[in-house]
Amino acid sequence: MTTYIPFWSNDPTILFNKTQLGKLWPQSAMAFEENLNAISRLIILLSVLGFLFTLNLNFLLIGIITLFVVLFIYKMRKTYIIKTLLEKKEGFSDMGHINVIPEKTIPLDNKLTNPVTLESVLRSDFYPTTKKNPLGNVLLTEIMDDPDRKAAAPSFNVDVSEDITRSAKKTVQYLNPDIKNTNKQLFGDLANNFELDWSMRNFYSMPNTRVTNDQGAYGEYLYGNMPSAKEGNAFALVQDNLRYILI
């Protein structure tokens, strides 16, 4: 299974990871984030060498500016991908519309937003991931205290999955205050993190992470494209005819 390599803005230590340190040149076989990380390592190396040989601070300044340019390219590509995904239609096309009266307690906000970054969408449109509830499932106390809570962020997204893992680590520290720095003692090496990922597979976000489900969308899915003879649909008018056959 291919291991996901994050961009250095999400995990700066990836630039100096011993398994990635030798990647200084972009290659077609590497992912986009890996190529940007390789370019960034090369920029840092050339900037430091230029400064050591000339003692000219301009090399460091140019290196920092170039790293910001790489970061800008990553953010722009991420924004473009998000907007492209949001503009695509989901699943069914040209479905009929019915007047389903939603309950007052069910907020129906079907408008698509154009976020600047994915992080802004995750913060504003979804239930926050915390150390007390990493997966964002509905707690029993929220049924009465927070009936209009938002849905949990999609855990299949890489950024959300990493956020859940970080929150799970904070949960361990929160539940074990006697252990100092659990990130180092319990999750300090690759084997520990592998065991954490293995144990996390038993936990997942429920299909519905709101107190009330989206009854309006469910009714649209069930009955939104149901033709009937009342509407004058040609197939519906003849399907009860004894001579009607399906060909």
| Amino acid at the residue 195 | E
Residue 70 maps to a domain = yes
Residue-level pLDDT at 61: 92
Residue 157 maps to a domain = yes
Examine the domain organization and report whether 74 and 160 are in the same domain. Answer: no
Is 189 within 8 Å of 197 (Cβ atoms)?
A: no
| Amino acid at the residue 182 | T
Is 37 within 8 Å of 15 (Cβ atoms)?
A: yes
Examine the domain organization and report whether 83 and 122 are in the same domain. Answer: no
Residue-level pLDDT at 181: 84
Residue 112 maps to a domain = no
The alpha carbons of the chain give a radius of gyration, in whole angstroms, of 26
| Cα 82 to Cα 114: distance, rounded to the nearest angstrom | 8
CB atoms within 10 A of CB 237: 15
Number of structural domains the chain divides into: 2
Residue-level pLDDT at 89: 45
Residue-level pLDDT at 236: 77
Examine the domain organization and report whether 78 and 128 are in the same domain. Answer: no
Examine the domain organization and report whether 130 and 194 are in the same domain. Answer: yes
For every residue of 208-222, DSSP letters joined together read: --SSS--HHHHHHHH
Domain interval for residue 138: 118-213
Phi then psi for residue 152, to 5 deg, are: -70, 150
| Cα 17 to Cα 189: distance, rounded to the nearest angstrom | 12
Residue-level pLDDT at 85: 66
CB atoms within 10 A of CB 175: 11
pLDDT in tens, the chain (247 residues): 456 677 888 778 888 888 787 888 888 878 888 888 888 888 898 999 998 998 888 889 998 999 999 888 888 887 777 777 666 544 444 444 444 444 444 444 444 444 445 666 677 788 888 888 999 899 998 888 888 888 888 888 888 888 888 888 888 888 888 888 888 888 888 888 888 888 888 888 888 888 887 778 888 888 877 777 777 777 777 777 766 565 5
Residue 181 maps to a domain = yes
**CA of residue 203 relative to chain centroid, distance:** 17
Residue-level pLDDT at 65: 92
Residue 171 maps to a domain = yes
Residue 31 maps to a domain = yes
Residue 21 maps to a domain = yes
Residue 6 maps to a domain = no
Question: Count of residues for the chain?
Answer: 247
Examine the domain organization and report whether 82 and 157 are in the same domain. Answer: no
